[in-house]
Structures are given as structure tokens and as C-alpha cells.
Amino acid sequence: MKYDYKYKDLDFISEINSIAIIGASRKRNFFFTKTFHDTFKGQIYAINPGLKSIDELPSVEVYDKLTDVPSSKPIDYAFITVPRHLVPDIISDCVVKGVKMVGIFTADFADEGTNEGKNLQMKILESADKQLRILGPNGMGLYYPKKGIRWRSSLPSDYGNVGVVAQSGGLCNLIIHGLTNENCPISKAFSIGNAIDVNVLDVFHYLLKDPETNIIVAYVEGLPKGIGKTLIDLIKSSQKPILILKAGRTKVGTQAAISHTASLVGNFTIWKSAIKQAGGILLETYNDVISLTKYIRMAGFKKIENACLVSLSGGYGVVCADLLAEYGIKLPRFKVDSVTRNKLSNLFTAKGTSYNNPVDLAVTIYEPEKIGHIFEVILDDGLIDGIIFEIAPLYLTHQMRADINLSEELYNTLKTVKSKCEKPIVVIIQDIGYVDEQLALKRKLQEINIPVYSDILPVTRLLKVLNKSTLDSFLTIESPYNLHK
């Protein structure tokens, strides 16, 4: 498909082998220089007039100006953190040096809302003369953990298959940390701030071709005029899921976005309709982003329109049933004299249990092998798309049987069921304390791609979005390589 819009080339990113920190500052204890030095696998240069060396970083070469770096030493990426009035001249030096891309951390350009700030932003583009790519200003630049490129030492070194683009450095940090913490590490993230050069569309185009990325997550405040249709066409042609958190759903949000990055936010109703028709997924909250990305990363695009809710508490099951119904997820009852019901009746022998839907396990929780058989019977039923399984963590600690490790047995049971059945299993472990037990079981389950949540609400929200999406042709999202540290 041909587009009128000319995408900016970002294919060189995988070949970044050298970085210059322009504005390396002793007053900041060389914060950014040390951050890049800790993990980057290439050569680092520090640029600051009057700075002769950095004693604690002897491998970092120091120069007064970028153009003082010998021609035999190319620089692929520059991270700029200098006062705003210096940025246009710095960009000119980057063009002379042949720098391929810069990330401009400095803010207070058009985002300041003044004519002076807007004029300085225009001077940056004039200085660049379309000779290099710009991330920002008012952004954090590039995060590429596989190469050790990160703007904060606290950012994870794990890397995976989720690509991120965000018009907010702070929210980009949250998304990176949030997804990695849920066993969904990042391939690359772009914090583009005011996006005067590289914009959301350019990053989408790059990530759709990127073999290291299978899922795309975006926080969008606005786009340059005239490229909305191109964005929709690009989403339509995508063979990868695109999840968008869009700012400006209200007048207050629109005004905040304009103040933040001076973005042309656009009409949210039009955005919502267009993205839905194109096959993208529009989300409302940060938690929605984390919840749905995790589900897609671990279960693919397996919809659960007809669920079986398996609970240890009848009351909690009722609460969950109400929410599921409110979000359009059905709980089909097992028909009298059906094969499923007959099989379940032979498995449920203890008093206080129920094998209707919701299923109330009660004390059957202490018979993990039987639970495995129950799950296999349920998932074999043609009416059921998947299981939502609630595990109260107190049962993992205060258990009636001393001869088993219930957490370990449940993990092994679910692992076996998952290996036999293609339908998804979603687990809820309530956040009621017992933190060590919660996290241990959650970590192990998510390592075998069983998504775990702390409440029914994020599950209902993500399933509502997923069930209404048109992306069910994507059945699985496999990582192109193993997770690394």
C-alpha cells in the first residue's frame, strides 16, 4: 500500500554503536553519562566545554564540542541535556558530525506556550535541515535494553517483544516498568515529547517492520495536521496488535495535553471511531494498557465471550458474576444430563461445592489432581471459551493438608492443563496480604504464560475490549527470542 506521507527512516537504530552525552554535568554528578555507561555496549563520549575528564568513568572520552571528536570516531546517537537556547547550535554541530539521531531531553519549547519557545523549536528544525532524526524535544529519547541504551539506571535491563512510543517521558517510564514487572519486557521504547520530527506514525511504521517487536503500545496526545488518514491506513495494514492510550477524551484532558507537549489533540470521538474501524485498540487508563498487553502477550487474541468462573468463595463468585455480566461476558450454565455436567458430578463429592457456573471449589482446592480433571472437563465443553480461576492466597498459607505444598501443586496442575488445552486460563490472586506467596505463584504462572490479576475488574475490562476487537486472527503472540537480562 502506498502512502503520501514519507516515513522517516529509523532502520539504523539496531546499529547504534556510539553515544554522545551533550551537557554532561558535574553538578548533576554526571547522571545521564553514568546511566548510559552502566549498560551501553558501545563507546560513550561526554561533551561539555571546560570538562577535561571524568575520573570515575575513565573509558568515557571527553570533548569541549561535538565537532572536536575526531572524524575517525563516528557518533550514532546524541542525548542532549543543555539549556534550551543552546540546542539549535548543538543540532548544527550534530549535522556536521554526521550524528544519525538525537534525543532532546531539554524542555520549554512549544510546550511552554510562549512565542519564544515556539521560535526556538522552529530553529531546531531549521538547524537539523532534515539531515538527522530528532526524538523530542521535551522527551527522554530512546530506550533499547538489548543494546543497553536507557535514560535511567532504574529502567530494566530485561528485553522482550513489546514496542512502546509515548509523548510523555514520565508515562513512558511507567509503561516500561509496569509491563516488565508483569513479565512483558520491552523491545524498544521511544519517548518523543513534542515530536517535532519523529512522530507516532514514524515509530509505528518502524515497529511494524521490526523483527524484535510483536506488540505495539502507544500513548498519544496528538498528531501533526493532515496525517490522520495515513495513521488509520497504517493500522489497517498492521499484522501486529496496536494498543493506543489516547489523551484528550475531555476538554480538561485536551487542555492538559496542549500544555504538556503543545499537541494537536483532535476530536476524541473521531479518534475512537476511526481507530476501531481500522482494527486498533483504544484504551482509557494506564492499568488497561498493562492488563491487556499482558493478556495478549501470554494468551494471544483468544477471546472469552463465554467464561467459566471457578471460585473458592461463593460470595466472591457472585460479585465476579455481576461484573462479568455488566461487561458482556456470559457464564453459560452446564445443561442437565450433558456430558460436562455428568462428568463434573462425579468429580464434586464434597459438601459445600457447586458445579454450576460459577463453579465453587470450596474444600476441593486441597485436591489439586482433581482440580486438573475438573478444568479439563470444563475446557472440553464447546460452550466455554476459557476459565477465570480465583485463588485466595490465604489458602496457600493456612492449608488443611500438611502433606502437600498447595502453591506448588496448583502450579503443576495448571501447567499440565495448559499443555493439554488451547483455551485460555486467567487467574485472580486477590491482594489481601500474604505478599510472598502471591508473588511467588504469580511469577511462576506468568512464566508459563498464564496471566494473573489481583481483581476481577481489570479482567472484565480487558475482555470487553478484546471481545469487541477485530483482531481475532492473531491467535498467539510468540516472543521472537527468549527473555534476557
SS3 label, residue 3: coil
Q: Give the class (CATH, top level) of 139-284.
A: alpha beta
- pLDDT band at 474, cuts 50/70/90? very low
The whole-number average pLDDT for the span 209-224 is 93
pLDDT of 473: 44
Ordered by start, the domain boundaries in the chain are: 11-135, 139-284, 301-468
Q: Is the pLDDT of residue 478 over 50?
A: no
pLDDT of 340: 95
The whole-number average pLDDT for the span 468-475 is 60
Q: Give the class (CATH, top level) of 11-135.
A: alpha beta
Cβ(372)–Cβ(410) under 8 Å? no
pLDDT of 199: 95
| Topology (CATH level 3) of domain 301-468 | Rossmann fold (3.40.50)
pLDDT of 131: 97
Q: Is the pLDDT of residue 46 over 70?
A: yes
pLDDT of 271: 74
pLDDT 10s digits, 260-301: 554 544 566 777 777 877 888 999 999 999 999 999 999 999
Helices 169-181 and 286-299: angle between axes, nearest 10 degrees:
40
- Mean pLDDT, rounded, of the chain: 90
Give the global pTM: 0.91
pLDDT of 273: 77
pLDDT of 92: 98
Integer angstrom CA distances of residue 202 from 70, 103, 184, 197? 32, 15, 23, 9
Do the first three CATH levels of 11-135 and 301-468 match, i.e. the same topology?
Answer: yes
Integer angstrom CA distances of residue 256 from 117, 154, 193, 253? 18, 28, 14, 5
Name 389's bridge partners. 310, 427
Helices 435-447 and 406-420: angle between axes, nearest 10 degrees:
20
Q: Is the pLDDT of residue 135 over 70?
A: yes
pLDDT of 267: 67
Cβ(245)–Cβ(275) under 8 Å? no
- pLDDT band at 471, cuts 50/70/90? low
The whole-number average pLDDT for the span 127-144 is 97
pLDDT of 251: 63
pLDDT of 50: 86
